[in-house]
Structure 1
Amino acid sequence: MWFLAGTFGEQVKRACKVPSGRPIAVPVINQVGDPQSCTAFMSSAQGTVLLDGKAVEPETYEGDSITVQGAQGNPVTGEEGRFTATGCGLWVQLPPLAPGTHSLKIRGRSGDFSTGVDYALTVAASSN
């Protein structure tokens, strides 16, 4: 699985090389918190994803218990150590993409928080 990053509320453009044969996962909009904050967040969560101009339906995760290993300086965890939290959001999982260039446009919103990423993806041909 090749994970692509979301944003902390900005609209950004990124270019990324993706290994051949790897499925891709990317958040549309997501949050880590407690069960109550996830319930509130998901009540208005919505998003759109376009891969090469074609709509891809995001998967909904209402609130799953997750274990996080925090690292010093990480903007999500803020501290070192292991803790349990609730993760929720809209995510997209894509099968491996054909070699070549691809456009992935992601827009998400929950309440007054919004994200947007335009990815220019390049998948190299397999070296087999």
Structure 2
Amino acid sequence: MLPRRLAALALGALALATACTGSPSPGGALGPSSPSASASPDADESHPPIVVRDLTSAELQNRWWIWATSTESARNPVLDQDGRRCAQDQEEGIWLLAGTTGGAAERSCTVPTGVPVVFPLVNLMGDAHDCLGFMDAAKGGAVLDGKALTPEKLDATPIDMVTAAGNPFTGKRDHFHTWSCGLWVRLEPLSPGSHELSFHGESGSFSDSVDYHLQVAKPTPTGAA
């Protein structure tokens, strides 16, 4: 586990808090040219997809960080190397993707039809001052099915964190106020079928990259053979 002071990840969330912690954890954009498909009619009507373009910076980043810190290291999707943890603790109506805590990963992941996809190229959880330096050096890119995506820069934003014991960023169960920043991608629901997504991010001495082999398919009903 990286030191919490600089535990960066390049990928990648609700409250407006004003206090902060002093220990940053970096992690890894619906741009106007994002080449994503329209929503599928197969989306679960009881859990309509979240309109990701309407999420505030705090809502988006708080969602991702709570997801990334809601699982102990052994089952955490950020530490996953092959995609077997892709569906871990995903909430209804949105699908979050993770980077790494440094270095590269190649993952295969099944994404349900009709839900938007969100991920950071590179991001940080720390205090507002940490975010200033981090974002000055932050850069990265993403390509979906051969077409470049437009990342979105989200500067220091207060978030309200709830973490699980054994998570790879704080290591303990906790509730605290902090700040988050990063380069993000928001995608509308992808069309059914196979998609190739690659992204990378860096800031200072930290860098990571992930190649995702995505299969977008209607979820199998519970109890189905």
> TM-score under structure 1 normalisation?
0.95
Q: Which residue matches 1:96?
A: 189
Residue 70 of structure 1, CA deviation: 1.4
Q: Which residue matches 2:201?
A: 108
SS of alignment partner, residue 153 of structure 2: strand
Q: Taking every aligned residue pair, what percent have the same amino acid on both sides?
A: 46
SS of alignment partner, residue 5 of structure 1: coil
Return 5+ residue gaps in structure 1 as ranges: none
Of 95, 112, 115, the residue aligned with 1:19 is: 112
Q: Does 1:5 align with 2:102?
A: no
Work out the CA distance in 1 between the residues paired with 2:161 and 2:170: 8
| Cα deviation digits, residues 76-112 of structure 1 (max 9, x gap) | 2221120011101011010000111000000101111
Residue 125 of structure 1, CA deviation: 5.0
Of 217, 222, 225, the residue aligned with 1:124 is: 217
Return 5+ residue gaps in structure 2 as ranges: 1-93, 221-225
Work out the CA distance in 1 between the residues paired with 2:170 and 2:145: 33
Which protein has the bigger helix share? 2
| Structure 1 segments (4+ residues) deviating >6 Å | none
Work out the CA distance in 2 between the residues paired with 1:78 and 1:37: 20
Q: Is the 8 A contact 1:23 1:96 kept in 2?
A: yes
Q: Is the 8 A contact 1:65 1:84 kept in 2?
A: yes
Q: 1:84 to 1:124 in 2, by over 3 A?
A: same
Work out the CA distance in 2 between the residues paired with 1:85 and 1:126: 35
Work out the CA distance in 2 between the residues paired with 1:79 and 1:36: 24
Kindly provide the amino acid, as one letter, of the partner of residue 192 in structure 2.
P
Work out the CA distance in 1 between the residues paired with 2:218 and 2:173: 39
> TM-score under structure 2 normalisation?
0.55
Work out the CA distance in 2 between the residues paired with 1:71 and 1:53: 37
Which protein has the bigger strand share? 1
Residue 75 of structure 1, CA deviation: 0.7
Residue 66 of structure 1, CA deviation: 0.6
Higher relative contact order (CA 8 A, sep 6+): 1
SS of alignment partner, residue 137 of structure 2: coil
RMSD: 1.3
